[in-house]
Amino acid sequence: MSSSNVVGPGGPQKAPPTPGAAGGAFVCLRCGECCLGRGGVWLRAGETGPLAEFLGLEPGRLEEDYLAWKNGVWEVKTGPDNVCLFREPSGDCRVHSLKPAACRAWPFYRGPLQDEGAFLEAREVCPGLRPLDHDAFRRACAAGGGDACRGLPPRDWR
């Protein structure tokens, strides 16, 4: 996911919209907009095995049916409508309890954290971000907003 295409995954079941989320500055509204395929959802090393087990699939079947190998990582495929294959018609995430770390971290990605333009792009998509300006977003991250704030490798948070 590049900083110019920062729209990422999060999921309608990501977190209850509690005022305490991310230090009180960011509240996920569970709208599911971030699962609509605007950016790739990639898996970190070690995520495919548990995901296959969760879905009751052989790893090869998971890869064949749900994943695509791109730029050295597995990405979750999207359907003809560009929606993540794990997104249910209801908007729920089929793999919610094991959703990729990339989904759990969104929208606290390195791109929007470091670049205000990328943040503004993300804010266009994510209504949870709309009350925030860039400084408030960065403060929310510092308050523990997401995995990307905890120093994970930049490659994981393009």
Residues that bind ligand SF4 (CB under 6 A): 9-12, 14, 28-35, 41, 76, 84, 86-87, 93, 95, 99-100, 103, 106-107, 125-128
Alpha-carbon span 123 to 55, nearest angstrom: 32
Question: Which is closer to ligand SF4, CB of 1 or CB of 76?
Answer: 76
Question: Which is closer to ligand SF4, CB of 67 or CB of 84?
Answer: 84
Least Cβ distance, residue 153 to ligand SF4 (angstroms): 19
Least Cβ distance, residue 135 to ligand SF4 (angstroms): 19
Least Cβ distance, residue 123 to ligand SF4 (angstroms): 9
Least Cβ distance, residue 78 to ligand SF4 (angstroms): 9
Which residue's Cβ has the minimum distance to ligand SF4? 11
Question: Which is closer to ligand SF4, CB of 3 or CB of 126?
Answer: 126
SS (H, E, C) the chain: CCCCCCCCCCCCCCCCCCCCHHHHCCCCCCCCHHHCCCCCEECCCCCHHHHHHHHCCCHHHHHHHHEEEECCEEEECECCCCCECCECCCCCECCHHHCCHHHHHCCCCHHHHHCHHHHHHHHHHCHHHCCCCHHHHHHHHHCCCCHHHHCCCHHHHC
